[in-house]
């Protein structure tokens, strides 16, 4: 009886806080670009929701990538506390004879907002390890959230996170965030654009994440609202 009551309370709290059921996910996709060369990659759906992709020994124009992995939790049940896409690329090398730029576009659709009708916070973070670095090497990351739920659509951007490097070592991308609203939408897409410029022969490992959570003030209200419902029910049980 108590178990059923607790389940009912959790469901009521979720409704009160505007938490939604997770949407059916699409599949994470990536476009890797150098100059006129574009290498598209499509992931596979995972049991229980979400999707992932993995590819080895990629050649993208003048770049060689030993391993590229990416994941998305779109469609995971129950709806996670944060929606996210992330990518890791190992041994990314400029094999050309001049400085080159690699652009990685990563995107998925069908993300269910942690709370409906509330502002959401889009954030990005990551790191780049220069195993062979030199003056002029740089990287940048910018993330987008699209209420029209369109793959690779670049709207509602975060401020760009930039780094430059002159030697070997690991550099953290400065975290950036922005607040956006879904309006009446019940699902949205996330896209991030990572740009890497390397001198000839330079080599890096990189990892980065784009995530969406309730806007901090909204999150506090959700927690307080859920706690109040549980406390009220607990008092009723004690009086029986």
The pLDDT tens digits of the residues spanning 170-217 come to 999 999 999 999 888 889 999 999 999 999 999 999 999 999 998 764
Q: Considering the chain, what percentage of its residues have pLDDT values greater than 70? A: 78
Q: Is residue 134 part of a domain?
A: yes
- Position 233 scores a pLDDT of 52
Q: What's CA 64's distance to the chain center, in Å?
A: 24
Mean pLDDT of 128-151: 96
* Cα angle value 159/162/164 (rounded, 5°): 170
pLDDT at 120 over 50: yes
Kindly give, in sequence order, each residue whose CB lies less than 8 Å from that of residue 61, ignoring residues fewer than 6 positions away: 33, 34, 35, 36, 37, 96, 100, 102
Mean pLDDT of 111-131: 89
pTM confidence score: 0.81
- Position 118 scores a pLDDT of 82
157: containing domain: 24-215
Q: Is residue 232 part of a domain?
A: no
SS3 218: helix
Kindly give, in sequence order, each residue whose CB lies less than 8 Å from that of residue 25, ignoring residues fewer than 6 positions away: 45, 49, 50, 51, 72, 74, 75, 76, 108, 109, 110
Mean pLDDT of 18-33: 67
Report how many domains make up the chain: 1
- Position 238 scores a pLDDT of 55
- Position 232 scores a pLDDT of 52
- Position 45 scores a pLDDT of 94
Kindly give, in sequence order, each residue whose CB lies less than 8 Å from that of residue 47, ignoring residues fewer than 6 positions away: none
- Position 237 scores a pLDDT of 53
Q: Is residue 128 part of a domain?
A: yes
Q: Is residue 221 part of a domain?
A: no
Q: Is residue 153 part of a domain?
A: yes
**Alpha-carbon distances, residue 175 vs 123, 126, 131, 227, 238 (angstroms):** 7, 8, 22, 30, 46
C-alpha gyration radius of the chain = 21
Q: Is residue 220 part of a domain?
A: no
Give the span between the Cα atoms of 139 and 128, in whole angstroms. 8
- Directed axis angle between helix 216-238 and helix 2-17, to 10°? 150
pLDDT at 17 over 90: no
pLDDT in tens, 47-99: 888 999 999 999 999 999 999 999 999 999 888 889 999 999 999 999 999 99
- Position 113 scores a pLDDT of 82
Secondary structure letter of residue 149 according to DSSP: -
Give the span between the Cα atoms of 167 and 165, in whole angstroms. 6
Kindly give, in sequence order, each residue whose CB lies less than 8 Å from that of residue 8, ignoring residues fewer than 6 positions away: none
CB-CB contact of 118 with 214 (8 Å): yes
Mean pLDDT of 21-40: 82
Q: Is residue 162 part of a domain?
A: yes
- How do 100-111 and 83-94 pair as beta strands? unpaired
């Amino acid at each position: 009886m108590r178990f059923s009551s607790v389940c009912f309370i959790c469901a009521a709290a979720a409704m009160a806080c505007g938490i939604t059921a997770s949407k059916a996910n699409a599949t994470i996709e990536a476009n890797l670009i150098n100059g006129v060369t574009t290498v598209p990659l499509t992931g596979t759906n995972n049991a229980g929701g979400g999707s992932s992709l993995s590819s080895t020994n990629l050649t993208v124009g003048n770049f060689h990538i030993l391993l590229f992995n990416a994941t998305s939790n779109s469609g995971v049940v129950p709806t996670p506390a944060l929606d996210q896409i992330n990518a890791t690329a190992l041994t990314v090398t400029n094999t050309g004879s001049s400085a080159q730029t690699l652009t990685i576009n990563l995107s998925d659709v069908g993300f269910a907002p942690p709370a409906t009708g509330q502002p959401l916070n889009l954030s990005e973070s990551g790191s780049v390890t220069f195993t062979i670095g030199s003056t002029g090497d740089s990287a940048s990351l910018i993330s987008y959230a699209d209420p029209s739920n369109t793959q690779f659509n670049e709207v509602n951007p975060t401020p760009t996170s930039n780094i430059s490097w002159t030697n070997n070592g690991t550099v953290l991308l400065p975290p950036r965030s922005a607040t956006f609203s879904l309006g009446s939408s019940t699902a949205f897409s996330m896209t991030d654009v990572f740009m890497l410029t390397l001198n000839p022969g330079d080599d890096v490992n990189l990892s980065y994440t784009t995530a969406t959570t309730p806007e901090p003030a909204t999150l506090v209200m959700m927690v307080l609202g859920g706690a109040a419902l549980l406390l009220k029910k607990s008092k009723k049980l004690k009086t029986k």
